[in-house]
Amino acid sequence: MNRNEAKARAEELRRLIEDANKAYYQEAQPFISDREFDEALAELERIEEKFDLKSEGSPTLRVGGEPSSDFPNVRHPQPMLSLDNTYNEEELRDFDRRVREILGKIDFTYAVEMKFDGASIRLRYEYGKFVLGATRGDGETGDDITRNLKTIKDIPLKVTGGPDILEIRGEAYMEKEAFVRLNEYRDENGLQPFANPRNSTAGSLKMQDPREVARRPLKFFAFDLLLEDQSEYPTQVSKMELLKELGFPVSKHFKVCRSIDDIFDVIDEWNEIRHELPYEIDGVVVKVNEDRYRDELGRTSKAPRWAIAYKFEAEQASTVLESITLQVGRLGKITPVAELKPVQLAGTTVKRASLHNEDEILRKDIRPGDTVVIEKAGEIIPQVLSVVNPDREGRSASFSMPEQCPACSEKLVKLDDEVAWRCINPQCPPQVRERIKHFASRDAMDIDGLGEAIVEQLINAELIETYADLYRLKKEELIPLERMAEKSAQNLIDAIEKSKEQPLERLIYALGIRFVGKTVARDLASHFKTMDQLMEADEETMTEIDSIGPKIAESVALFFGNEKNIELINRLRDAGLNFEMSESETVSNLLEGKKFVLTGTLPTLTRKEASEMIEQHGGSTSSSVSKNTDFLLAGESAGSKLAKAEKLGVPVLDETSFFEMIGKQ
C-alpha cells in the first residue's frame, strides 16, 4: 500500500467509523458488530501510524459519541475514558507483560469484573444528595441527564455515610426479558425495534420526557468510585465494598487475581455462565487493583494503560441465504434483509438477518444461494458476517438495489454522503403512521388528543392516509371509534381546527423533512418568511443560512421536489393552515441582525422562551457557535458551546445581562 492508497483507505475507514458511531450513540441502531467496529478502528490506527496520517478529528483519538445538543453539556472532573479491547489470549498476555515490565518486581493484583453491555454513566453526590447524572459523551464532556437517571430505582437519591463528595461511575442496563417485552410493545405499535439491550438503554436515557424514561425497565450497576482522597480506599476491592455499604448495586461477580492464568480461569468460568445471567455481558474487564500503581502506568489519549477489556467471541452458525427482501423503515430507509434457511443459534431458531444496506452487501459480496456465517450482535439481533465460499461456481448475480420502493413503487433516492436508499413518498404505507404522529406531536402542530392509538384507529378505519386528511375529518366519523364518545370526538375536531393557527416554523417542522429539526425549521421560516418562497429556494440559497449545511439543503430540496409532497402541501394550504410568518409579535428591533446561540439551563427562561424573546426583538438564533455568532446566552451547566465561544471571542451573556439588553425589568 502506497501513501495515496493509505489516505484513501483511511478516509473510507473514518467514514465507516463515524457512521457507526452515529448509529450506535445517537440513533441507537448499530449496523455493524462490535468486533467489526473494533477491527476497523485498529486498521485505521495502524494506517495512521505507519503513514503519519493522524489528524485532530480522527475517530482513533475519540472516546465515544459527541455530546448532544438536546441536553445541557457538563464537563467531567476526570475524563471518562474508554478501554482498549482484545478478543484473543495473546493480546491479553501482552497487556499483562507490559504492566509487569513497567512495575518491575512490585507485588500487585488484578481486579476482574464482568463487562456489562449497557451505557456508561456518571453520578455525583454532594453531602449525601444526588445532584448530577451524566452520559460519557466524548469522554471529556457529556449530557446532563440527571432527571432521567432519577427515575432508575437502583440509583439512590440520598446516601448516608461515606465521604462528602462522591463521583461514581457505573452502567445503566436493561435485562434480557425486559428488552424482549419492550421490543414486542414497539413492534405492536409500529415502532422500530431496538437492536439490543445496550441500544435500548442508550435510547431510553436520551429521551426528553423523564416520565417516559420511568416507564422503561432500566437498572444500574456501580463499578468505580472517584474520591478526592483515595488513601482510605486504596484498591478497587475497597471501593466496591464502600459502594455496597452505601447502598449502590454492585455485581456479585468480582474476582481478585494474582496471575494472568488465574484471569483466564475466570474468563472461562464466566463465559460458561453468561447465557444464564438475566442481563447481557460481552466480556470481562481487567484492572490493576491497587490505585497507587495506576498513575505510574498512565494512559493514552483515550484509554488507561492499567485496564483492558477482554471480549467474548459471539456465537456463530452457518446456513443458506435463500433470498434478499427489502424492508421500508418508518423514515423511508430501505433495509435489505436476508431470508435464511432456519438454523439454531444461541438457543433460538434464526430465519432472518439484517444486511444493513447495499454497500455492506456488495462489500461482503453476499448473494442469494450462498452459504453464510451469521452471528447474534449483542446475542439478540442476527446479522450476516461473511460468505463461506465466495469463489464457488454457479453463484447468482450480484445484488442490485431496485429503483422503486417495494411498498409504494415511488422512485428511491440517495443523498450524496449516505449509504442508505430512501423512499421520500409521504404516502408510502409503512411511513404513514410515523409521519402522522410526528405531524400531530407537541413540538409540531400540537394536536391534543391525537395520540398513537387514535392514529392507529384512524388509519385502520381508512379515515386517513396522510396528515392532510386530518383536516377533512368529521365528528360523526370519529364517534364509532373505540373509546371515542361524542365529547372526545368534538374535542379532537376542535384541536385539529386550532392547529391551523400554529406558526409557519411549526408547520415546516411538522412536515417531517429529514434533518429538519425545530431549530432548522425556525431558521428556514425566519429567512424565507413564507412556505412558497421556501418551496422555490434552491440549495445554494438555503446554505446561506448559518444553520443549514449542504446535507440539510439537499434533503429540503428533495422533499419539495417530490410531486406528492407538493400535493400534500397544497391540500394543507386549502385547509387554511398558516403559510406565512407572522410579524405581529415583533416588540422592537434592538437585536436586529444579531445572531444568538443558547446553551445550559437559564434561571427563569426555557430555551424556547428565550429564543422567542430574541426573535421578538429582531434577532435570530442558531444551534452552533461560529465566528458569525454575535452572543452566547449561557446558563448553568454550559458545556462545549461555552468553551468554543470563549475560544472564538464571542461575548457571553447570562440571563440578567440579556434582560438588560432588551430592556426587560
Q: Which residues are catalytically annotated? A: 115
Spatial distance between the Cα atoms of 46 and 498, rounded to a whole number of angstroms: 60
Spatial distance between the Cα atoms of 467 and 465, rounded to a whole number of angstroms: 7
Instruction: For 525-559, give one letter per residue: b (16+ CB within 10 A) or e.
Output: bbbbeebeebbebeeebbeebbbbeeebbbbbbbb
CB atoms within 10 A of CB 497: 13
Three-state DSSP state, 498 = helix
**What one-character-per-residue DSSP string does 82-144 give?**
---EE-SHHHHHHHHHHHHHHHTT----EEEEEEESSEEEEEEEETTEEEEEEE-TTSSEEEB
DSSP 68: P
Quickly list H helices, 206-275.
210-214, 236-245, 260-273
Three-state DSSP state, 507 = helix
User: What residue type is assigned to position 498 of the chain?
Assistant: K
Spatial distance between the Cα atoms of 616 and 585, rounded to a whole number of angstroms: 6
Spatial distance between the Cα atoms of 183 and 634, rounded to a whole number of angstroms: 39
Spatial distance between the Cα atoms of 355 and 335, rounded to a whole number of angstroms: 7
Query: Containing H/E element for 78?
Result: none
Residue with cell 423523564: 210
Spatial distance between the Cα atoms of 44 and 14, rounded to a whole number of angstroms: 8
Q: Quick one: cell of 203? A: 435510547
What is the Cβ-side half-sphere exposure of residue 277, based on CA atoms within 13 angstroms? 22
* Residue 42 and residue 84 in contact, taking contact as beta carbons nearer than 8 Å: no
CB atoms within 10 A of CB 409: 12
Phi first, then psi: give them for residue 618, nearest 5 degrees.
Answer: 90, 0
* Residue 401 and residue 412 in contact, taking contact as beta carbons nearer than 8 Å: yes
Instruction: For 413-446, give one letter per residue: b (16+ CB within 10 A) or e.
Output: bebeebebbbbbbbbbebbbbbbbbbbbbeebbe
Pairing status of strand 218-226 against strand 254-257: unpaired
Order across the sheet with 595-599: list the strands: 620-622, 595-599, 631-634, 652-653
User: What residue type is assigned to position 161 of the chain?
Assistant: G
Three-state DSSP state, 473 = coil
